[in-house]
Structure 1
Amino acid sequence: MLTRLTAKRLVSDDRFVTSFVHHHAQRGQGPIRIRAELRQQGIADEAIDAALENTNTDWGLQAQSVRQRKFGAALPAGMAERAKQARFLQYRGFSSDQIRAALKADVESWSLPE
């Protein structure tokens, strides 16, 4: 049955992957987490790569939006808060570059406890 549906192009991994990427990006998940979930479902890396490249999502902006929804518009006040927000974004599946872009605070301006 599944073979016939696939032959008639009624079932397509490519369409599923595209829909999955779009849906999970809208839910605030990053590309690393999306890729891991698709791999867990047995989807080929080529299909995942193609879907992630063809999405119009700016992942750095997406990470910033997710951070603002969770923690508010103000940038983290100290290193502990910055680490907390970075861990949250890492759990959501964003890369270190995307996390740095979302937390674009001047770390050198923080005063260290003495």
Structure 2
Amino acid sequence: MPGFARDTDATPRDDAIRLLARREYARAELRERLAAKGHEAEAVEACLAELAEQGLQSDERFAESFLRSRVARCQGPVRIRAELSRRGIDDATAKAAFIEAGGEVDWFELAAEALSRRFSGPGEGPRERARRERFLAGRGFDFDQLRHALAHAWDDA
């Protein structure tokens, strides 16, 4: 980064704390970032274990935070699960985050909201309907959520 002087003597912990000060990171993400900064694998693993023990890094907290941020962007559960997996979150941790958010998120209504924000109406013809279906599928909504959204997105309009 221009204007950013990096401390070449920084420990893995220093770099990890600097990263965690900005946002939550999954353990796997943090491992990749620290390795990219040139820290040795053994030092990185020791650092990550220490940070987790101290409660400074938590995959559970990351998954919950990530889920909330993606729901705010009107993204669906299929896409969120895939993204959590890509970031190194195991299925059990992801499932726990979804259970935690379960009472708060109505995926069917979220799909309808995403659709109504993007499109002004249901569209005329099969080509326009397919466009709306692709939009929702790309956002990570499943077939049932997609069908519900197509039927109810503009009920209040």
TM-score normalised to structure 1 length: 0.86
Where do 5+ consecutive residues of structure 2 fail to align?
1-46, 153-157
> In structure 1, what is the Cα distance between the partners aligned to 2:97 and 2:143?
21
Amino acid at match of 2:83: E
Greater relative CO (CA pairs within 8 A, separation 6+): 1
DSSP 3-state at the match of 1:103 = helix
Partner of 1:4: 50
Q: 1:68 aligns with which of 108, 116, 130?
A: 116
> In structure 2, what is the Cα distance between the partners aligned to 1:103 and 1:77?
12
Partner of 2:144: 97
Tell me: CA distance 1:78–1:53, structure 2 relative to 1, closer, same or farther (3 Å). farther
Identity of aligned residues (%): 42
Query: How large is the Cα RMSD of the aligned pairs?
Result: 1.2
Partner of 2:30: none
The CA deviation at 1:14 is 0.3
Cα deviations by residue, 1:23-51 (Å, 9 ceiling, x for unpaired): 01101111100100111111110111111
The CA deviation at 1:8 is 1.4
Where do 5+ consecutive residues of structure 1 fail to align?
106-114
